[in-house]
A and B are shown apart, each in its own frame.
Chain A
Amino acid sequence: MSEPASETIRLTIDGVEVAVPKGTTVLKAAETAGIVVPHYCYHPGIPTRPAQCRMCLVEIEGQPKLQPSCVMTAGDGMNVVTQSEAAREARRSVIEFLLLNHPVDCPICDAAGQCMLQDYAYETGQLESRFQEAKLVLGRDRIADDILYFADRCILCTRCVRFMRDVAGDEALIVAQRGHKAYIDTFPGKDLDNEFRGNIVDVCPVGALVHEDFLFKARAWDMDSAPGVCPGCSNGCNIEIGAKENQVVRIKPRYNAEVNSYWMCDYGRKHLVMANRGARIDLPLIRRNGELEAVHWGEALTWLSERMPEGDGVAVVSPFESTESIAAFRALLARIGISGGGYRLARGDEAQLAGFPKLKLRAERAPNATAAELFGFREVESLPSIAAGATVIVAGDRLDDLPADFAGDAGFFAYLGSHLSEAARNADVILPITTFLEMEGTFINHEGRLQRFRQALVPPGVARPAWMVIRRLLSLLGDGADVLEAEAAFERAATETPGLAGIAWSAIGPKGVLVRTDGAAAPSAR
C-alpha cells in the first residue's frame, strides 16, 4: 500500500526540529526524533486511542493544559516539550497513582524486567510511597484456559480489551464495574476462546495478564532470546523465542508489517511450546548385522557414501525443513538419480485476525511447503507403499503415524530426522538433524516471502542442520564442497532454483523478501 504523497509539516520537539507528514501524532513525530514519550494505553497495533492513561502528556507551547501526545496531531510550527517540569511532574504522579494499590510483587511477577510500570517508576525515581492506607485487594482470576489475570497488577490501560474488540473483532473481554473498583473480565462462564487471545498477554504493559505456559518459568533477564519465524502454519509470523536452559519457555510475536503486524495466533504458540517434548536423535546410527549402532559423523557419512544406491526411489521431505535443507536434499536426490519427491502437509481449520487480514492461521500447518514446491517436491496425501528392494530416503518427516513395518523390506532406507519413530527405526542409516529452533535458516511463506530465522537453542548431541549433513555427503560423493554456514547454504541454494536467483543473504531484511514462485504451485491453491 502506498499512500499518496502528503504534505510535510515541521515542528520542534525538545529542541529538535522534526519534519513529519501532516496528520502525524505528536507521539509518533517524537519517535522520529528518537524521543520516546512514555505511554500505556497507546499501542501502535491497536487502532483505538482513548488517551486515558494520561502518561503521554506533553507540554505544547501556547496550550494551557498538558496534552496527550498519542492523539494530539502535530501542527506546523508547534513547539513540544516532553521533558518540561510540568510534563515530568505529571508522569511522576501517574506512576505514583498506579503504584498506590499495586502489590509491588515484582519478585514473583513474570513481567518483572520487561514491565513498563517498573521501567517508568525506576526512571522517575520513586522509592517511597506517600500512600498510608490499606491497599485494595482484588485477587486473580482465570480468563482463558491458558491465561490468568492478576487484577492487583492491572493498570486498566484497556489494551487487552481493545485488542480483543478492535483487532480480533471479538468483544469478549471487558472492563467491569467502574472507578477504582474496575477490573478486566469476561462474561461469567465464557472464558476467552478466540484463536488470537494470547496477544492480550503480549500487549499488557505490566504483569496483569500472564500466559499459564510461561507462569513462573523464567525471569526476563534469565532468558535468551532469538528472532524466529513461527513454523505453525504457512503464514510465517515473525516471533521472538525466549529460551532458558535450552528449553523454549516463551513465544512472543515480533513486528512485521507485511506478515503479522504485532500479532500471532495461539496455535503457533502452543505448537512451539510443544517443541520441547519428545526424545531426540542425538547420534548418527547405522545398521550393522541387523542392529542400529551409534557411530560418529565421519564414520556414518563415509558408510553412507559407500552404500548410497544410484537410480530412482522414494523421497520424502518435510515442509518443516529450512529452504537450505530442502535445496540440499534436492541436490542429493539429483546426484543419486531420484527425480520426484513428495512432502506431506497437515491441514487444519483457518482463523483470520479481523483487524489485520494478512494474519491468518492458515490451513497448511507447515512453514515451508512453498520452498518444497520451489525445489520440485509435490504434496502427497500419504506415502506410497514401499516396494521390496526400493530405495527410500526421508528428510525430516517424522513418520510417526506410519506402521512399525514401514519400508521394512526396502532395499535401502536412509533417514535424516530429529525424532526416532517406530517407522524410522527401520532405516539403514539414521542421521540426527536439527529442528529450526537449533539452526539458522529461512522459510518461504504462503505468498512467497522468504524470511530468516536465527538459532534459539543448542542442538542435542551431535545433531546438525540437514543442509550441512547433506552438503557434506555430497562432497563425499564428489559433488561440490562442504558448506558450513547458513549464509553459504542459502547462497548455494539460490544458484539451484530460478526462484531464488539473485537474492543475496544480506538482502533478506526484517520484512523478508518476496521470491518468484511461478515455477511452483502454491500449496494453498490446490
Chain B
Amino acid sequence: MKKVHPAVVGAQPFQLAEHRPVERLFEDAEGRDRLEKSLSRYPEKKGALLPMLAYAQERNGWLSPEAMEEIAEALDLTPAYVRSVATFYTMYAKRPVGRYWIQVCTCISCHVNRGEEVFESFLEHTGTRAGEVSEDGRYTVIEAECLGACGFATVVQVNDRYFENVTPETVPEVLAQLEPGEPEA
C-alpha cells in the first residue's frame, strides 16, 4: 500500500496506465486510509468528494456508477448529487477509456502550432476515432481544451504525463515513449 501524507492525499495522480481495480473502494486498507485521511482535511464530508472521485478513477481506471454510489454512501451524499458533480468535470472518465488516455490540446496557442494536425496524427497512428477505445484497449484519443503549457505547443497529456512541443511528425516518438521497455501484454 502506497503511503500518502494526509496533506496531499487528495492530490494524487488519478489518470494512470496501471490500475488496481477493486469492486468496493473502501473495503481494503488502502481505500479506508484514503477516505479517512481525506475526510480529516475538510470541515465537511462533502469536501472529500473530488478526492474520492479521483481515487476511484486512480484505482479502477474510470469512474463507474457503482463507485459513485459507494462514494455517495461514504460521504452521506446522494448518488444523484455525486453524479451531478462528476459529470461537471471532464477529467473523470464516466466510461472506460484506453490504458493510454491521450488528450491533445487544440486550444488557441496549440491551434496555431498545428494542434489539430497533431490530433489527427494521433488518431492515425493509434488507428482509432476520436473518443473511442482502440481494439487492443490501449488508446483513447480526444481533443482537449487548454492544458496550461501554451509556450510549449502542441501539448499532449497522456495519463499523468505531459509531452510538449509535439508535432504531427513526432507523434510516433511519443507513442513509443509510453511503454518504455515493457514487455507486450
Contact = CB atoms under 8 A, between A and B. Distances in A.
Interface residues on A, range: 10 to 19
B131 interface: no
> Which 5 A-B residue pairings sit nearest by Cβ, starting from the closest?
A174-B84, A187-B79, A187-B80, A171-B78, A176-B87
B87 A171 contact: no
Contact of A188 (B65, B77, B84): B65
A13 to B, nearest CB: 37
B161 to A, nearest CB: 26
Nearest to A165: B81
A170 B69 CA distance: 15
Contacts of B83: 174, 176, 185, 187-188
A171 B81 contact: yes
A296 interface: no
Nearest to B86: A176
B88 interface: yes
A173 B77 CA distance: 13
Chain A interface mostly: loop
B80 A177 contact: no
Contacts of B69: 187
Interface of A: 170-178, 185-190
Given A174-B83, A176-B84, A187-B82, 13 more contacts: A170-B78, A171-B77, A171-B80, A171-B81, A176-B87, A178-B87, A185-B83, A187-B65, A187-B79, A187-B83, A188-B83, A189-B65, A190-B80
Q: Which of B65, B82, B83 counts the most chain A CB atoms within 10 A?
A: B83
Nearest to A164: B80
Q: Which of A172, A174, A190 counts the most chain B CB atoms within 10 A?
A: A174
Given A172-B78, A172-B80, A177 B88 contact: yes
Contacts of A172: 78, 80
Interface string B75-109: 00111111110011000000000000000000000
A166 B65 CA distance: 24
A190 B88 CA distance: 20
B80 to A, nearest CB: 4
A397 B79 CA distance: 45
24 contacts: A171-B78, A171-B80, A171-B81, A172-B78, A172-B80, A174-B80, A174-B81, A174-B83, A174-B84, A176-B83, A176-B87, A177-B87, A178-B87, A178-B88, A185-B83, A186-B80, A187-B65, A187-B68, A187-B69, A187-B79, A187-B80, A187-B82, A187-B83, A188-B65
Q: Which of A186, A187, A188, A190 counts the most chain B CB atoms within 10 A?
A: A187
